[in-house]
Amino acid sequence: MFLSLKNKKNLFKSDLFIQGISDETINMMSLQDKESSLVLSRIFRRTVNDNYTIFSDLNFPHIQRRRFMRSNKEGAERFINILFDQGHRVLITPHHNLSLTQKVIDNLEEFSLYWERYTKFHEAITIEVYQDGDPFVLFIKDGNLLGVYCIVPAFVIGDGESTIQELIVALKDRRSKNVLYQQYKLEKIDNTLNMEHIPIKGEVVQLKLSRQIKYGAQYLSITDLIQDQYDSLIKDVNKIVDKKYFLVLSCFSKNILAGVHDKTLVIDNIKQGANIYRHFLAEARFNISSIIKDNFISNAFDKEIYKKAKIYKNSHFTRVSQLIILKEAAYQLGLKSRVLDTRTLLIEDPLNDTRCLFWGGMSQFTTLQARQLADNKHLTKMLLDEYGIRVPKGRLFKIGEYDKASQYISNFNGSAFIVKPLNLMGGRGVSTDIFDHNQLLMAWQRCEQLKCSNIIVEEQILGDDYRVLVVKNKVYAVARRIAPYVIGNGRDNIRELVELKNIERRKNKYLRNSPVVISSYVEQYLSQQGINLNTVPEKGQRVNLSKVSNAGSGGEIVDCSDNVHIDWIPIAVKIRELMANAYHVGIDFLMEDISKSPSDQKWGVIEVNTNPDFAVHLFPSEGMPRNVGKPFLEEIFSPSPQNKFVYRLKILGKVQGVGYRKWFKQVCEFRSVFGYIKNTSSADIVDALIVGYKNNLDETVELSYRGPKNADVRQVIVDDLTDNIEEYRSLQSFEIKVTD
């Protein structure tokens, strides 16, 4: 778990919604870079003795805990003697294994016994003060207390009619549908219980001793019983932890309701992240609507607008990635950009002295919580469903629960359903049109081959797949995604038509990276239609190859931004805000037609992505490219207007007959530089006139020395003509002119 600390002495290493910024990149960053909100998410710095130094800034006691390497038994023994002298019992456990194997010891003989036992298999051992108080957690959002849960061993409550065994079966069924408990099996129940006993109504029957959530324990919300008992503790936490994050503070106390006044109160740890949010939802999900609205949604539903991105020329792109698209958009606005590593980009506004870090297409305003919520498709569905957003009905299964999934599909009553991995992107592993157990098995095996741990089985909603790009309270673009297909020409078989299709896809700078692949799933889908790869379709006949419409799986993209019914806008904005108020998202809808009102058709949300691919809208197969990068950066920076400059260049060297002008035109167009370039009567000179923002022009001049592969630039003479800018304001493109 990663945490944003305010106290700079506790800073350790940058990490917010990503875990991929390299140490080399961090070392290259300036102090100002490191202070940006992307890099200000930190984990605790450990001292040599492995204490959490963050707790030294809190005015409340914390667990005394230290880690010792296998070779330092003497140090561990000294620490234990100190704890014994203070009157404590001691907990010893393998490091990073706190909840799995732990023993409470009261003397040095027991210490030696378990030290020898644990160090046979573990390099490090953790020793800490044993807590005999009750464990509980405080959930904090925006610096405010959101909930208080105590942790209790697994239990059932009698209804006066059911046996303990029947109550346990019902409990397991409820746990299988809970956003948190479904991860953990309820096993090793107290074998002294009489399973045929019928508890009286209201009788509580404890099933286990463990208070570990992963071993069947559960949360019990006591939020209604807590008023201001922990205000001073939360105030202390707010002094050192950024308020904007969702946090959980784990504690022990013998009198939880007494709050900070109970002298046995001890702080265990502070954590942050989407998994912690799942813990909160374990008991809050039944009133999730009001919780999300009150804590994550801004009161801005009256401001939802459709800010359709402008049509844009995309021919100047040589490569396509999230960073390249953002870098090109920065040039359009006169912003400076710097690539920190292969996936991290820093963009700065030189006039307003503002900056923003990006990882892929995500800005520093995309929180870890929003990212991890969107990565978990099942959790996303539960959130949206609780707030009245239509989603396909389905269930999550572990990869080893095929038999349970096989039983579950009877709920679809012969209707088609979908099988898809929980965390894979780009349509990988998705199987559609599943009707029976044989098809389910094939889909399951496909997921196994991709090493998936969790699988979603859900109803298949009929309709077209639409991707809607939402930034804050604005919808920028909409694209319809079409599953791969070929059109017969009366001569070639399906295999040959796929090859022709891929040749055509290579012309699209985005789709060329995702050719149509003839997989076993495609062959199965063709077989269901009574055809195969050797079939020769008639001229004009359309043959669908799959129902997975993602571009990464060979699908097509059609821009539909001009045909969006206005009623979809508030729905899309609401979904973005439900995703922990993510800064921007791509929402995947299934529906009949986005030009029709939602109330006039059946529809559902199948996925939400916090790193939506901008290229979907910039490089469609059909329709107009949409310049989504520029308004995205405008939303973040609100840049001030800049003056433009004019340079005349005389470029000398081997620059004619080597493709220099074509290369230079592409350099200028990518940097939003207008003007022209032309050969001169001298074979070793070309002239260029360039108009644009100063940073863009200076970079263009620097690059002009490089040239294409066969060029050899000896000198570039620059003449600043900015005083005559009015003469050149009409230039709105870049062209190659004929020789003087």
Which residue type occupies 160? Answer: G
* Strand pairing class (134-141; 144-152): antiparallel
* Strand pairing class (394-398; 266-272): unpaired
pLDDT at 77: 93
Could you tell me which residue, 201 or 599, shows the higher pLDDT? 599
Strand, helix or coil for residue 733: coil
Q: For 50-96, how does the pLDDT look when each residue is reduced to its tens digit (9 = 90+)?
A: 333 445 556 778 888 888 998 999 999 999 999 999 888 998 888 65
Could you tell me which residue, 429 or 483, shows the higher pLDDT? 483
Q: Is the pLDDT reported for residue 251 higher than 80?
A: yes
pLDDT at 162: 92
Contact 147, 122 (CB under 8 A): no
Contact 152, 181 (CB under 8 A): no
Q: Pick the range with the lowest mean pLDDT from 15-29, 459-473, 560-574.
A: 15-29
Over residues 543-562, the mean pLDDT reads 89
Q: Is the pLDDT reported for residue 377 higher than 50?
A: yes
Q: Is the pLDDT reported for residue 149 higher than 70?
A: yes
Is it true that 64-130 and 393-460 share their CATH fold? yes
pLDDT at 243: 59
- The superfamily (CATH) of domain 64-130 is ATP-grasp fold, A domain (3.30.1490.20)
pLDDT at 274: 54
pLDDT at 293: 45
pLDDT at 352: 86
Which residues are marked as active site?
661, 679
- Would you place residue 394 in the very low, low, confident or very high pLDDT band (cuts 50, 70, 90)? confident
- Would you place residue 427 in the very low, low, confident or very high pLDDT band (cuts 50, 70, 90)? low
Q: At what angle do helices 377-386 and 274-284 cross, to 10 degrees?
A: 40
Token pair of 644 as six digits: 């433009």
As beta bridge partners, residue 644 has 693
Q: Nearest-CA neighbor of 535 among 523, 547, 519, 550?
A: 523
- Which of 163-177, 185-199, 658-672 is predicted most confidently? 658-672
Q: Nearest-CA neighbor of 82 among 129, 16, 131?
A: 129
pLDDT at 594: 95
As beta bridge partners, residue 736 has 677
Contact 431, 418 (CB under 8 A): yes
Could you tell me which residue, 429 or 330, shows the higher pLDDT? 330
Spans of all domains in the chain = 1-20+134-292, 64-130, 393-460, 644-736
- Would you place residue 41 in the very low, low, confident or very high pLDDT band (cuts 50, 70, 90)? very low
Q: For 277-315, how does the pLDDT look when each residue is reduced to its tens digit (9 = 90+)?
A: 778 777 764 444 444 444 444 443 345 577 788 888 888
Contact 283, 219 (CB under 8 A): yes
pLDDT at 14: 28
pLDDT at 723: 92
Over residues 607-632, the mean pLDDT reads 94
Alpha helices in 89-136 (DSSP H): 108-119
CATH code for the structural domain at 393-460: 3.30.1490.20
Over residues 558-565, the mean pLDDT reads 93
- Would you place residue 97 in the very low, low, confident or very high pLDDT band (cuts 50, 70, 90)? very low
pLDDT at 102: 73
388 Cβ neighbours under 8 A, 6+ residues apart = 289
pLDDT at 26: 47
Q: Is the pLDDT reported for residue 21 higher than 50?
A: no
- Would you place residue 273 in the very low, low, confident or very high pLDDT band (cuts 50, 70, 90)? low
644-736, which class in CATH? alpha beta
